[in-house]
A and B are shown apart, each in its own frame.
Chain A
Amino acid sequence: MKLLMRSFVLLLFSFIAVFPAVFAAEPLSGKTVYVDAGHGGEDSGAVGNGLLEKDVNLEVAKLVDEKLKEDGADTVASRTDDTFLTLEDRVAKASRNASDLLISIHANSAVPEASGTETYFDSTYQAADSERLASNIQERLPDALGTRDRGVKESGFYVIKHSQMPSVLVELGFITNQTDADKLESPEYQEKAAGAIADAVVSYYE
């Protein structure tokens, strides 16, 4: 009986010790995050400095997906290859999968001098939470990429306007700016960008 009691106490102690660690290792457990790689297929998005936006978006989105999974999230990808999806399809897929968050990955385009990173939210649904997620991303992403911080902005882009869960659209950098484009093309910087976005999601749920 004494042995049984000792075993029970030991088991209880082990459980108490390990339980928080399990949750600390998977801070996004139970959350479903929808990762949308902008453009795709016949829609290349912006083109510049030898890069197609759809390719950059897909590479970074895949890395974000991986990192969110490592943090315990269930993830849903709008696309995992070079496929065209309508804007309505993207929103519908997020809704169909009961996603808790939507993150749309894009790269910007303008005159060659324009550069930097910006994150958008829309106020139609979940305005406050969308803005908070956008701020969390914007606090980390320009630092990770070493790009100009263009701030958090509000705009009614289709996927964030029509999604009913908190949602943001990230413009990683300008594909038309040589310095930004070099980073967007670099696997090292793609990894850094994905890490910053995943950390922002973890921070959002803390």
Chain B
Amino acid sequence: MAANNSEILGELDGEIGRKPAAAACFTAPVIKDKVRGVKNSAGEVVDMKKGVIFVLFAMLLLAGCGTTQHNEQNGDESRQGTGEETLVKEGTFVGLADQHTVAVNIDGKETTFQVPPEKRDKYKGIKDGTKVEVKYTKAEDGTLQLEDMKKKK
């Protein structure tokens, strides 16, 4: 390791660590004027350029993490702001469960949707058993919110 460092140090232009006779095992390399290096706790000379590269890499990595986290937060805000993804499915209209709920059989399973007040009258004329296409979102409280329901031709 020391030898490797020495070789590398030999290629550096640093001034730090210019102590060629500091360690007994250290064969003084031909050190140019500007060799950069520091001794570690074991007394080995550590490549300063490597250190700098490592620090820069770590900063870049951390900066990248920060950016990713920021994007994720933005993503959450975006989902909260615009609502969840609109889903479209076909099924068979079962009927009105009550004043604000319609039931549609989708893939053999009865599924209920909450209907916004302004659209309630629109669906009261649909006959049971009619083939329909529903557009809906899944709200944070788990309810399925009907955006639109059309008769399928």
A38 part of interface (Cβ distance < 8 Å): yes
B94 part of interface (Cβ distance < 8 Å): yes
Specify which of A39, A110, A171 is in contact with B117 (CB 8 Å cutoff): A110
Bound CA span A22–B139, Å: 53
Bound CA span A155–B97, Å: 11
Q: Do B143 and A157 touch across chains, with their CB atoms under 8 A apart? A: no
B145: min CB distance to chain A, Å:
10
| CB-defined contacts of B45 to chain A, threshold 8 Å | none
Bound CA span A161–B117, Å: 22
Bound CA span A165–B21, Å: 107
Binds A, one of B30-38, B55-63, B84-92, B99-107: B99-107
Instruction: Give B33-78 interface residues, CB cut-off 8 Å to A.
Output: none
Chain B's closest residue to A38 (CB) is B98
A45 part of interface (Cβ distance < 8 Å): yes
B112 part of interface (Cβ distance < 8 Å): yes
B114 part of interface (Cβ distance < 8 Å): yes
Specify which of B100, B142, B143 is in contact with A108 (CB 8 Å cutoff): B100
Contact status of A87 and B142, CB under 8 A, knowing A110-B117, A156-B124: no
A44 part of interface (Cβ distance < 8 Å): yes
Q: Do A87 and B97 touch across chains, with their CB atoms under 8 A apart? A: yes
A-side interface residues, number (CB < 8 Å): 27
B125: min CB distance to chain A, Å:
10
Q: Do B96 and A155 touch across chains, with their CB atoms under 8 A apart? A: yes
| CB-defined contacts of B99 to chain A, threshold 8 Å | 106, 108-109, 120, 155, 157, 171
Bound CA span A45–B115, Å: 10
B95 part of interface (Cβ distance < 8 Å): yes
Instruction: Give A1-59 interface residues, CB cut-off 8 Å to B.
Output: 38-39, 43-47
Q: Quick one: CB contact mask for A150-177 with B, threshold 8 Å, 1 for yes?
A: 0000011111011000000101000000
A40: min CB distance to chain B, Å:
10
Q: Do A171 and B96 touch across chains, with their CB atoms under 8 A apart? A: no
Bound CA span A114–B116, Å: 13
| CB-defined contacts of B141 to chain A, threshold 8 Å | 44, 47
Specify which of B94, B100, B124, B142 is in contact with A46 (CB 8 Å cutoff): B100
B110 part of interface (Cβ distance < 8 Å): yes
| CB-defined contacts of B128 to chain A, threshold 8 Å | 158
Contact status of A38 and B100, CB under 8 A, knowing A44-B143, A47-B143, A111-B117: no
Chain A's closest residue to B144 (CB) is A43
| CB-defined contacts of A111 to chain B, threshold 8 Å | 117
Q: Do B95 and A87 touch across chains, with their CB atoms under 8 A apart? A: yes
Contact status of A87 and B94, CB under 8 A, knowing A44-B142, A108-B99: yes
Q: Taking beta carbons and an 8 Å cutoff, which residues of A are in contact with B?
A: 38-39, 43-47, 86-88, 104, 106, 108-111, 114, 120, 155-159, 161-162, 169, 171
What are 27 A-B pairs at a CB distance below 8 A? A43-B112, A44-B141, A44-B143, A45-B97, A45-B101, A45-B112, A45-B114, A46-B101, A47-B139, A47-B141, A47-B143, A86-B94, A86-B103, A87-B94, A87-B103, A108-B99, A110-B100, A120-B99, A155-B96, A156-B124, A157-B96, A157-B97, A157-B99, A158-B94, A159-B97, A169-B98, A171-B99
